[in-house]
């Protein structure tokens, strides 16, 4: 059984497309891997789709580590990539390396992902020097959503596209084994993909990227709060789940569940003896230690 690695990701550029998916627990990791997903991102998006926050900024290192451990236990072949949460790498290079190292040492991840361009290149270099594979992320970076003015398409002007191009190149030069391109015009993503020596993973960035990533809950129709244009829903499991759970609730209230096939029996003689024992126990008068008539 061969596990996907960062060098294997780089080697795939120009050879085959890379499917990537978010995963937040053991069960999701098992399902995704069985489906042939190469890369599992434990994204900070868990803040929204799992923990119910309005954005990704609230999730902590400890919460991320908890979910990374679960996914790592479920993944036998896929490369598990831990998303570094907001303010876990921005304050200093030393803190960035320490936190990234925790994801590999404690979380058993195979790599980490961080958002940003040239401004985080020093952190990337230090992480790579410490033996930590790093996936970059430019374009629409959710941790910067306040500064970007919301979840909007990025790099729509020539100047902004050139800035993104420079950021992606800087990440590759700093040692990233790949770069996520999120919510940018397809022609910009195509140009970046062609120029970069490492794979690009697109999300809302068109078909020319070296791979694609989507959120687990979006693909399966399990999250109904936000519906980005770039998401393709391959199933409606949320609808199916509500239907199944409704059937369960109704069966319980009607008394049709559990049925005979769901219960355990006991030998008739054992049952009779049991009933005799509890009958004797319940018919015996309880002794009141405070009753002066008791000996």
Give domain limits for the chain. Answer: 6-241
DSSP assignment of 84-131 equals PPTTSSSS-HHHHHHHHHHHHHTT--SEEE--BSGGGHHHHHHHHHTT
Give the pLDDT confidence of 25-62 residue by residue, as tens digits: 999 999 999 999 999 999 999 999 999 998 899 999 99
DSSP at 18: E
Report the pLDDT value the prediction gives residue 286, as an integer from 0 to 100.
62
pLDDT for 264 beyond 80: yes
pLDDT for 3 beyond 80: yes
Partnered with residue 41 across adjacent β-strands are 22, 81
Average pLDDT score over residue span 201-213: 98
Average pLDDT score over residue span 74-84: 98
Residues forming the annotated binding site for Mg(2+)?
Answer: 44, 83, 115
Report the pLDDT value the prediction gives residue 228, as an integer from 0 to 100.
81
Burial class of residue 60, CB neighbours in 10 A (0-12, 13-18, 19+): middle
pLDDT for 259 beyond 90: yes
Active site residue 182: yes
Burial class of residue 290, CB neighbours in 10 A (0-12, 13-18, 19+): exposed
Is the pLDDT higher at 28 or at 148?
A: 28
Q: Quick one: pLDDT band at residue 215, thresholds 50, 70, 90?
A: very high
Q: Are 178 and 201 contacting, i.e. CB atoms less than 8 angstroms apart? A: yes
Report the pLDDT value the prediction gives residue 101, as an integer from 0 to 100.
99
Measure the CA–CA gap between 257 and 264, rounded to whole angstroms. Answer: 14
Is the pLDDT higher at 281 or at 103?
A: 103
Average pLDDT score over residue span 65-84: 98
Give the pLDDT confidence of 218-249 residue by residue, as tens digits: 999 998 877 788 899 999 999 999 999 999 99
Average pLDDT score over residue span 156-184: 98
The catalytic position among 54, 62, 182, 261 is 182
pLDDT for 295 beyond 60: no
Answer left, alpha or beta for residue 247, where phi above 0 means left and psi between -120 and 50 means alpha.
Answer: alpha
Q: Quick one: pLDDT band at residue 149, thresholds 50, 70, 90?
A: low
Domain 6-241 has CATH 3.90.480.20: no
The 3-class secondary structure across 26-79, one letter per residue, is HHHHHHHHHCCCCEEEECCCHHHHCCCCCCCCCCCHHHHHHHHHHHHHHCCCCE
Measure the CA–CA gap between 37 and 25, rounded to whole angstroms. Answer: 15
**Spatial CA neighbour of 35 closest among 24, 12, 16, 19:** 19
Q: 189: Cβ–Cβ under 8 A, 6 or more apart, which residues?
A: 181, 200, 202, 205, 206, 208, 209
Residues forming the annotated binding site?
Answer: 44-45, 83, 113, 115
Work out the percent of the chain whose per-residue pLDDT is above 90.
Answer: 86
Residue written as token pair 């054992």 = 270
Is the pLDDT higher at 290 or at 142?
A: 142
The answer to whether the predicted template modeling score (pTM) of the entire model surpasses 0.85 is yes
The lowest-confidence range among 101-105, 143-147, 158-162 is: 143-147
Residue written as token pair 């598990």 = 80
Report the pLDDT value the prediction gives residue 285, as an integer from 0 to 100.
63
Q: What is the mean pLDDT of the chain?
A: 94
């Amino acid at each position: 059984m061969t596990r996907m690695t960062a060098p294997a990701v780089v080697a795939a550029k120009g050879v085959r497309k890379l499917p990537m998916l978010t995963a937040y627990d053991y069960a999701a990791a098992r399902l995704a891997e069985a489906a042939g997903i190469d890369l599992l991102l434990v994204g900070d998006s868990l803040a929204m789709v799992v923990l119910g926050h309005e954005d990704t900024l609230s999730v902590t290192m400890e919460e991320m580590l908890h979910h990374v451990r679960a996914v790592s236990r479920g993944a036998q072949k896929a490369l598990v990539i831990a998303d570094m949460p907001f303010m876990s790498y921005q304050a200093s290079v030393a803190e960035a390396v320490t936190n990234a190292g925790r994801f590999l040492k404690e979380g058993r991840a195979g790599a980490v992902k961080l958002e940003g361009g040239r401004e985080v290149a020093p952190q990337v270099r230090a992480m790579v020097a410490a033996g930590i594979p790093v996936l970059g992320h430019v374009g629409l970076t959710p941790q910067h959503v306040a500064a970007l003015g919301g979840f909007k398409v990025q790099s729509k002007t020539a100047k902004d596209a050139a800035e993104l191009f420079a950021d992606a190149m800087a990440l590759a030069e700093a040692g990233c084994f790949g770069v996520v391109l999120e919510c940018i015009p397809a022609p910009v993503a195509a140009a970046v993909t062609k120029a970069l020596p490492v794979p690009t993973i697109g999300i809302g960035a068109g078909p020319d990227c070296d791979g694609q990533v989507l959120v687990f809950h979006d693909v399966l129709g399990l999250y109904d709060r936000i519906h980005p244009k770039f998401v393709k829903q391959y199933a409606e499991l949320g609808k199916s789940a509500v239907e199944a759970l409704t059937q369960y609730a109704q069966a319980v209230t009607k008394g049709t569940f559990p049925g005979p096939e769901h219960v355990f029996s006991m030998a008739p003689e054992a049952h009779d003896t049991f009933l005799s024992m509890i009958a004797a126990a319940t018919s015996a008068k309880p002794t009141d230690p405070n009753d002066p008539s008791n000996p």
